[in-house]
Structure 1
Amino acid sequence: MKTHTIALIAHDGRKAEMVGFVKDHYDILKEMNLIATGTTGSYIQQTGLEVTRKLSGPQGGDAQIAAMAAEGLLKGIIFFRDPLGKHAHEPDVQMLLRICDVHNVPLATNPATAKYLLLGIAKEEGIEV
């Protein structure tokens, strides 16, 4: 039974990078409950992993995932942000980042940090790497 849940989010310019990351870490991720924003989730589903999809980010998916973090339902969040782009839902993104800080939820915003987040969860949960 999967008892550890992580959320995966990627801005449009980073979705391909997220799919590559998921493929590279498939063996760890298959042991976790995956939550994702809508469009990111549809990309991840193409890898064969099961993903619970929330709304797309601009339609409130970031806020839904932030609520899960505030409720203590997530082990971590991987959010490949586009730091150079402008996003209409930037207030939701900032709120998500703040919620992670307030509730001490691990948050990775790039592949290098995401790798260590996954390795840490895997070690803590006894998942073979």
Structure 2
Amino acid sequence: MRLGLAANRLHHLGADAALFRWLDACEAGIRELGLELHAVGRTYDAIAAAGRLGGHPGLRRYPYGREGGLMKLVAEVAGPDDPARALDGAIYLIDPVDPSSVFPEALALKRQCVIHGKPFVSTMAGARDWIEVERLHAGLAPDPGADDLHALERQTLALIAHDAMKPQMLAFAAEHFDLLSRFARRVATGTTGQRLNELAWSRGWPQDREWAQRYRSGPMGGDAQIADLVLERRCRRAIFFEDPHVARQHEADIQLLERAVTTVTFDAMCMTSPAMARRWAEAAARRANPETRNGRRTDA
């Protein structure tokens, strides 16, 4: 697997920065997976200067951002001429107040990941989580260091979908209903929440209880209300099915939610496409059932 890797300056400034905390938690998993990390210049330099991933053959250096490094990641997510250079997704640790985080290439990197159903990970918590997802799909034993990420019974989950993506959100919730029901609490914006509740009631959820607590619709402030939960660390995980092909009339509200997630990089994570959410859900289900690995019982 090949992932693009970039981190805004804040996230590699000191030993306790997000990039290094991620590597502290996940270096063993990166090596176990043989994961290729195609790192933009300053991110690569920071890893090398800190002595991390020493000797790992999968660490590749790309040009600095000002020399087109991030643009190259966008092209390789979208599909380069040489399939051997194609990236399977990207980890971009975003500092929401760094102007480069809203440069065209930064926005395009996320958009191309969403369009092509590839993971786009923007926080340290999300990067930790994604390494565990890939470890589980590879049939490796769960990492105890990731137990906090999978303590779903203590977490709040936000479920949000643009209009064109609402059918896919309902299909995802139906397929993984039992897993999503493990969360301590689910919240959703207006129409999405209503449809999710109707689904839950049809599945036997008590008629006098909401399966997903409904906030306002996105254009009326629902995204902002959920962003506030994220900032207060009362919502750790969001699944936000974005439609990248239409103009977003409430763009500022959507950016507010995304900004809130990256502001609390050590705590929150967001999945932005059905493909990404399904891969996470399959891994989480495997982790919850220690008797199975790669679809087989471990005592088989």
3-state SS of 2:186 partner: strand
Q: Distance in 1 between the 2:181 and 2:288 partners?
A: 10
3-state SS of 1:47 partner: helix
Q: Which runs of 5+ in 2 are unaligned?
A: 1-152, 206-210, 291-300
State how many pairs are aligned: 126
Counterpart position of 1:115:
278
Counterpart position of 2:73:
none
Q: Distance in 2 between the 1:76 and 1:122 partners?
A: 16
Q: What is the 5 A alignment of 1:66-77?
A: 66-77=227-238
- For the pair 1:39 / 2:200, whether they are aligned, the reply is no
Q: Deviations over 1:37-61 (max 9, x none)?
A: 0111011112115110000000000
Contact persistence 1:38–1:57 (CA under 8 A): yes
- What is the TM-score normalised by the length of structure 2? 0.39
- For the pair 1:85 / 2:246, whether they are aligned, the reply is yes
The equivalent position to 1:30 in structure 2, one of 178, 181, 188, is 181
Q: Which has the higher contact order (CA 8 A, sep 6+)?
A: 1
Counterpart position of 1:19:
170
3-state SS of 1:83 partner: coil
- What is the TM-score normalised by the length of structure 1? 0.87
Counterpart position of 2:137:
none
Change (3 A) 1:80 1:44: same
Change (3 A) 1:121 1:62: farther
Q: Shift of residue 75 of structure 1? A: 2.2
Contact persistence 2:239–2:270 (CA under 8 A): yes
RMSD over equivalenced CA pairs, Å: 2.0
Counterpart position of 1:98:
259
Change (3 A) 1:66 1:38: same
Change (3 A) 1:106 1:120: farther
